[in-house]
Structure 1
Amino acid sequence: MSMNILVAEPIAPSGIEVLEEAGWNVDVRSALTPAEVEAIIGDYDAVIVRSQTRLTARAIRAAKRLKVIGRAGAGVDNIDLEAATAQGILVMNTPGSNSVSVAEHTFGLILCLVRHIVAANESVKRGEWERRLFLGRELKGKTLGLIGLGKVGQEVAKRAKAFGMTVIAHDPFIAERIAQDLDVRLVPLGELLMTSDIISLHASLTRATRGMIGREAIARMKPGVILINTARGELVDEEALLEGLDSGRIAGAGLDVFAEEPPRNRRLLEHPRVLATPHVGASTIEAQEQVGLEIALQVREYLQSGVIRHAVNFPALLPEERHRLAPFLELGEKLGAFIAQIARVRPSEIGIRYYGELNHVNVYPISNAILCGVLRQMLDEEVNLINARAKAEERDIEVIETRSSRVRSYANLISVQLRDAEGHVDWVEGTVLHHGNLRLVSIDGVSLEIPLAAHMVLVRNEDVPGVIGRIGTILGEARVNIGNFALARGGAEAMAIGVLTVDSPVSDDVLA
């Protein structure tokens, strides 16, 4: 079938060739305004953009033939995802295509800092010849600590091994097998901070990781450590970093990203121990070539055979099926988010079991909703019903789905377990009651019943008097109102489990 493809911004010639080889009409334009896009988009089956072309809701609503939007790159801020989803248009991007480029930039920063390359270059150009001022350090035998062992972190680890470095990593959400294959030892964050000669950040930005490199973390670092950040600027408390640089605990910082870009913190930029670059880790000819080729291949594969790779939105279900599944999709996502936040294990496996009336429905999207709930607590990239399984696979997390005919106390029941490589398990169960009421009904095999709400608090404590009153006092003093409180006890340990729903978020200070 002939297709019309609009390439609204320049991509690699190899990408254009991939589309033309399919026998399609490829129209390459550039610098289109939203109005110009709206005027012509109705003629196309697919559109490929980079970051400059804006696909507004008006333009997407005018795209009567459009089946897929391809973004050559990761961010999709220039695409109205809600409008695309409403139109049943698939939106896909190319995350991870720049991993090698970012990893190489990371090592460029490391080498410049340990060998004082930039300062030495400037000295020579001033007519000086001060060799004694630029005594450096070898990388061989040094310990590199990676905070985050995703695609970029893995590429950095490979290169570090070539330099003869010992590599350790902290990543609660990566499987042990991936680390072992790279000859990387997974360690607690505290151990990494205290033993690394060089620390490189490759973590996702989440509530838990925002500002993770602050005063406390820096105080635990080895004196004379080198800190590299090519991930997200918000991972670092920049004032704390300045204090660490001034004190000498941090011997040098290589920064490609900043909390605010362009950065306005001149003290940090001009610090003699800081090497700064303007967020160019992914800016290589090869990375740009790769994203253009990959998005063209993804678009071709989808249009020819329906294969979906790196989708960032949710395709429309038939109205009847969507209506029927809606409460179970919501239950699945909330159960996944809840168990991910209370988990005490590093998940290598997610087990999902369905009971009752769920034995007779299409549970595939429900499982994806559970994965969304779990993975959104781990990652700061887009996770949705289309790409959730691929994201789990990338983290080497196995997904096991089963159905059971065993009679339970509810008409429908979803059981979710997170298991680690040693067989330790976290376990929750939930159900949909009448009128779509979502209930949490079990934690670690201990029965209780409480609504699944926006703000919840889990308390595990020794089963002794006075705990409930103390919790109420603490929350009351913080002006946090309790909506529901479910208490249960049981299990192998003499422990009690309490779950509360509250009307507002509880601060970290109160939780501590």
Structure 2
Amino acid sequence: MKIVLAEKVSPATAAIFQKEAGWNVVTADQIPAGGLKAALADADALVVRSAVQADADLLEAAPKLRIIGRAGVGVDNIDTDAATKRGIVVMNTPGANAVAVAELTLGLMISMSRSIPRANASMHAGKWDKKSLQGSELRGKTLGIVGLGRIGLEVARRAKAFGMTLIGYDPFVAPVIARENGVTLAAIDEVFSSSDFLSLHVGLTPQTEGLINQHSLAIMKKGVRIINCARGELIVDAALVEAVKSGHVAGAALDVFRSEPLKESPYFELEQVMLSPHIAGSTDEAQEAIGIQLANQVRDFLKLGVVQNAVNVASLSEEEYAELSPYIEMASRLGQLLGHSAGRAAQSEELGTVESISLTYTGRLAAMKTEMIRNAAIAGVLRGADGVNRINAATAAEERGIRLQEDKREYVPGGTGATLKLSIHWSRKGGSHAGETGGWTGTGTVLHGKSPRLLSYDGIDIEAELAETLVIIRNKDVPGVIGRIGTLLGEAQLNIANFALGRKAKATAGEGSALAVVQLDLEPGDAETLNKAIDSLHGVEAITSVRVVELGQL
């Protein structure tokens, strides 16, 4: 396993990786200028901070890359769309620096309200100017917090201790969480118009870019003070400069900027604007915590498949992953089984175009985080398609024009505890059968928390293990077929480990149909023997189809 630490991170980060036997850790000081692409040629993981641009071009140079870890929160420097298409997990470390950012936010508020930078400069200039430095208290003032995630809530808890009135905007936070932290939720315009201090703690999205603009500034209180330790792009700089110059905004404290490092700016001419070089998360404790958290996340993903704090796939705790893991594997094998059916039909020109894949989660499964189950099933269906894996499966399917549909149904007392029903739907686009539709459907579950089982296939109820190698036999429901199958496999010296049988009831006229799923005890050199046995089974008149399905680890 090769881990590339492309930027300087806490020594504790490298130490965690270096404890793993056989892992090769490349640190930033070992990478020559312009040598990052070469270092990534055989890398499994990339760790960055904010300087390295992990764009599509860089990812193209990393064909084995499985994960990008961002030591921090923002992922603006990572092309997450390109990463997702290549099946690369992108993780960040939210919360590890929340206290550091919150403390700086409060420090900036106090500095503005008491003119601390100006007082310091005055003293260094040999002045004793108490009169012009009279400030104001935080007590009794209204603090508007835009964004009540980890950092926003840490700010709220500390501001509450100062006796401030807290008002906040966040469409994704539960009202009970806001109340527990002393925050009154309000519409964004009300937050703007009511605040004496306004602190920004949201990520950069198309909706938040330019949030502080001429319009929003105009509805703010005269004398408002603005703090931004989140993203520089949240503020339209020209609008804020004009508002400060006019006296409408009494002050601003900015730790982030549209272009960093900040070299030329009208802010330099405004003493009412405090500037710091993106240091909100830069404390010894925060950097150590970020490095340790990220290293543990990346290690757990590479070793165990646990996905934590991912920005492009569902995140799962170790406990959640342990519960979901057998269902993820079951979904993968069920998808491979149906995908094999699709491939067989395509080879025999029975298949037109796969139009949709639908998944129905029943019982306890419906209450779980199902994104990884969905992706595993789709990756199974699309097995063999170039570059498709459990991370990018949904994107890959949609790029191929395949519609995805999911449905969750509640647990029914007396029913199976947790099942996944997977269906592939197709239609013929041309030829003499144009317009015909069809598909394949299978249902699976997990027994005893570990054994993936097939419960139905192609409309026939059955109970069979979804083992790595299966022989799928379709036959007419007539006497003697099971015995004949056993005889031919026995003559080939192939031992039957499990034999599952299901059937459709006989129609009004004609024979019914049956399905056998056979698991064999196979040794590495048995391939030729198995092929001969399959040929023999094809010769049985009542058997309509025989195929061997390999269900591998994806």
Distance, in Å, in 2 between the alignment partners of 1:119 and 1:43 is 53
> Residue type matched to 1:16 in 2?
A
The residue type equivalent to 1:155 in the other structure is E
Secondary structure at 2:69's aligned position in 1? Answer: strand
Comparing 259-268 and 239-248, the one that deviates more: 259-268
Change in CA separation of 1:287 and 1:435 when aligned onto 2, cut-off 3 Å: farther
The DSSP-based 3-state class of the residue aligned with 1:139 is coil
**Shift in alpha-carbon separation, 1:230–1:66, aligned structure 2, 3 A:** closer
1:169 Cα offset (Å) = 0.5
Partner of 1:73: 72
- CA deviations on 1:131-182 (whole Å, 9 max, x unpaired) are 1110011112211111221222111111101212111111222210110121
**Residue in structure 2 matched with residue 402 of structure 1 by the alignment:** 408
1:136 alignment partner, SS class: coil
Going from structure 1 to structure 2, the CA distance change for 1:59 and 1:367 (only over 3 Å counts) comes to closer
Which residue identity does 2:306 align to in structure 1?
A: V
Change (3 A) 1:195 1:403: same
On the 8 A contact 1:354/1:404 being kept in 2, the answer is no
Q: Which amino acid aligns with 1:27?
A: V
TM-score by length of 2: 0.54
Which of 364, 370, 375 is the aligned partner of 1:364? 370
The corresponding residue for 1:126 is 125
Contact map agreement 2:193 2:219 (CA 8 A) in 1: yes
CA RMSD of aligned residues (A): 4.4
TM-score scaled by length of structure 1:
0.58
Distance 2:270 2:283 in 1: 27
**Which residue is equivalent to 2:465?**
none
The 5 Å alignment of 1:268-347 reads 268-313=267-312
Question: What aligned pairs does 1:33-432 form with structure 2 within 5 A after superposition?
Answer: 33=32, 36-37=35-36, 39=38, 41=40, 45-51=44-50, 67-75=66-74, 85=84, 88-263=87-262, 266-313=265-312, 364-365=370-371, 402-403=408-409
CA displacement at 1:433 relative to structure 2:
11
Q: Deviations over 1:67-126 (max 9, x none)?
A: 434333345566665665565443433234322222122112111110010111111111
Contact kept, 8 Å, 2:87 with 2:391, in 1: the verdict is no
Q: 1:197 to 1:66 in 2, by over 3 A?
A: closer
Amino acid of the structure 2 residue aligned with 1:129: W
Residue range with higher mean Cα deviation, 310-319 or 91-100: 310-319
The one-letter code matched in structure 2 to 1:308 is V
Aligned residue in 2 for 1:452? none
What secondary structure, in the 3-state scheme, does the structure 1 residue paired with 2:409 have?
strand
Using the TM superposition, name which of 6-15 and 226-235 deviates more: 6-15
Unaligned runs of 5+ residues in structure 1 are 333-352, 370-383, 389-399, 406-431, 437-512
Distance 1:103 1:185 in 2: 19
Matched with 1:16 is 14
Contact 1:205–1:235, Cα closer than 8 Å, also in 2: yes
Aligned length: 357
* Corresponding position of 1:393: none
Change over 3 Å in CA distance of 1:81–1:274 after alignment to 2: closer
Contact 2:14-2:25 at 8 Å conserved across structures:
no
Change (3 A) 1:266 1:192: same
Query: Match for 2:9: what amino acid?
Result: I
Percent identity between the two aligned chains: 41
SS of equivalent to 2:274 = strand
Q: How far did residue 206 of structure 1 move?
A: 3.1
- How far apart are residue 354 of structure 1 and its match? 6.5
- Which secondary structure state, in structure 2, belongs to the residue aligned with residue 70 of structure 1? strand
The 1:185/1:12 distance shift into structure 2, 3 A limit, reads same
Q: Rate the CA distance shift 1:80–1:13 in 2: closer, same or farther, 3 A.
A: same
How far off is 1:60 after superposition? 5.7
CA distance in 2, matches of 1:63, 1:295: 20
Provide the secondary structure at the position in 1 that maps to 2:308: coil
CA distance change for structure 1 residues 207 and 195 in 2, over 3 Å: closer, same or farther? same
Equivalent-residue separation in structure 1 for 2:188 and 2:59 (angstroms):
45
Provide the C-alpha distance between the structure 2 equivalents of 1:303 and 1:140, rounded to a whole number of angstroms.
Answer: 49
Does the C-alpha gap of structure 1 residues 253 and 402 become closer, same or farther in structure 2, counting only changes over 3 Å?
same
Residues 321 and 203 (structure 1), Cα distance of their counterparts in 2 relative to 1, 3 Å cut: farther
Contact 1:328/1:366, CA 8 A, preserved across alignment: no
Flag the structure with more relative contact order, 1 or 2, with Cα contacts below 8 A and sequence separation at least 6: 1
- Using the TM superposition, give the Cα deviation of residue 307 of structure 1 relative to its aligned residue in structure 2, in angstroms: 0.9
- Cα drift, residue 22 of structure 1: 4.2
**Per-residue Cα deviation, 1:356-383 (whole angstroms, up to 9, x for no partner):** xxx99x99349989xxxxxxxxxxxxxx
For the Cα contact (< 8 Å) 1:98–1:282, is it kept in 2? Answer: yes
Deviations 1:416-460 (A, max 9, x none): xxxxxxxxxxxxxxxx99799xxxxxxxxxxxxxxxxxxxxxxxx
Over 3 Å counting, the alpha-carbon distance change for 1:15 and 1:178 in structure 2 is same
State the match for 1:27 in structure 2.
25
Question: Of the two, which has the highest radius of gyration?
Answer: 2
For 2:226, the aligned partner's letter is L
SS of equivalent to 2:25:
strand
Tell me if the contact between 1:34 and 1:59 (Cα under 8 Å) persists in the aligned partners: no
Q: Distance in 2 between matches of 1:259 and 1:9?
A: 21
Partner-residue secondary structure (3-state), 1:227: strand
**Equivalent pair of 2:153/2:181 in contact (CA under 8 Å):** yes
Question: What is the CA–CA distance in structure 1 between the aligned matches of 2:122 and 2:301, rounded to whole Å?
Answer: 55
